[in-house]
Copies of this chain bind each other. A is one copy, B any other.
Amino acid sequence: MKKFEEKTIKSESIYEGKIIDLKIDEVKLPNGKTSKRELIDHPGAVGVIPVTDDGKVVMVEQYRKALEKSIIEIPAGKLEPGEQPEVTAERELEEETGYKADSLDFVVSYYTSPGFANEIIHIYEARGLTKVEDALEGDDDEFVELMEVTIDEAIDLIKEQRIHDAKTIHAIYYLMLQKG
C-alpha cells in the first residue's frame, strides 16, 4: 500500500556503519509541502522462541550498550547478507544456547520501529531441542548467560523489567495464547 506516499526529493547519506546506516531523506508530502525524514537502514534480524520439552523458554541475559543495562531476551541475531531467515535462526539458536531444534516454525515478522528504522525481525518457534556437542561459537564481542524459565517466571521478569524488549514480551504473550 502506498497511501499518503512520501516521494523522495533528495537523499543524503550521513553514516554507513557495521550494523546500521543513517540517511536523511527530503520528502514531498501528500499536501505538496516538504519535510525531512531521519532513516536507519538495518539488515533485519531473527528471534527464536526455544521451548524445552518440559515447557520452559530458553533465554539469554546480555548487556545492551544502548540501554546501559543487561536484559533477558530470547535468542536473536542479525541476518547476514543474502542469508535466509531460517538459516540465521538455526545459527543464532546454536551459537547463543548450544541447542539444535527438531522443528523450527515461522511465527510472524514485524518491524520494530517503523517511525525511523526499516529493521524487520522474523520470529521462529523452536521445539524438540537437543544440546549440540562442539556447538558453534558466537561473535567474539558477545557475552551471554543462558537460562531456562517457565512462563510464570517470565511474567515476573517482565514485571521486574529484566525482560524489557518487544520481541521477548511478544514471545511470552505468544506462548500464553498458545497454552490457551
The minimal Cβ–Cβ distance linking A65 to chain B, given in whole angstroms, is: 4
Contact partner of A45 (CB less than 8 A), chosen from B14, B24, B71, B115, is: B115
Contact B63 A116, beta carbon cutoff 8 Å:
no
**3 A-B pairs with least C-beta separation:** A4-B63, A35-B141, A173-B173
Q: Contacts A113-B112, A158-B108, A166-B110 known; A69 to B1 CB distance under 8 Å?
A: yes
Q: How far is the CA of A40 from the CA of B177 in the complex (A)?
A: 33
The minimal Cβ–Cβ distance linking A79 to chain B, given in whole angstroms, is: 12
Identity of the chain B residue whose Cβ is nearest the Cβ of A167 in the assembled complex = B166
Q: How far is the CA of A30 from the CA of B171 in the complex (A)?
A: 29
**A29 contacts which chain B residues (CB < 8 A)?**
141, 143
Identity of the chain B residue whose Cβ is nearest the Cβ of A45 in the assembled complex = B115
Q: Contacts A14-B15, A177-B176 known; A65 to B39 CB distance under 8 Å?
A: yes
**A176 contacts which chain B residues (CB < 8 A)?**
177
Residues of A within 8 A of B (CB): 1-6, 14-15, 17-20, 22, 24-25, 27, 29-31, 33, 35-40, 42, 45, 61-67, 69-71, 73, 76, 78, 108-119, 121, 140-141, 143-145, 158, 161-162, 164-167, 169-170, 173-174, 176-177
Contact A114 B71, beta carbon cutoff 8 Å:
yes
**A39 contacts which chain B residues (CB < 8 A)?**
65-66
Known: A27-B65, A30-B143. 20 other contacts (CB 8 A): A1-B70, A1-B71, A3-B145, A15-B22, A17-B24, A19-B38, A20-B22, A45-B115, A64-B111, A64-B115, A108-B158, A108-B169, A110-B164, A110-B169, A112-B165, A113-B113, A114-B165, A166-B167, A170-B170, A173-B173
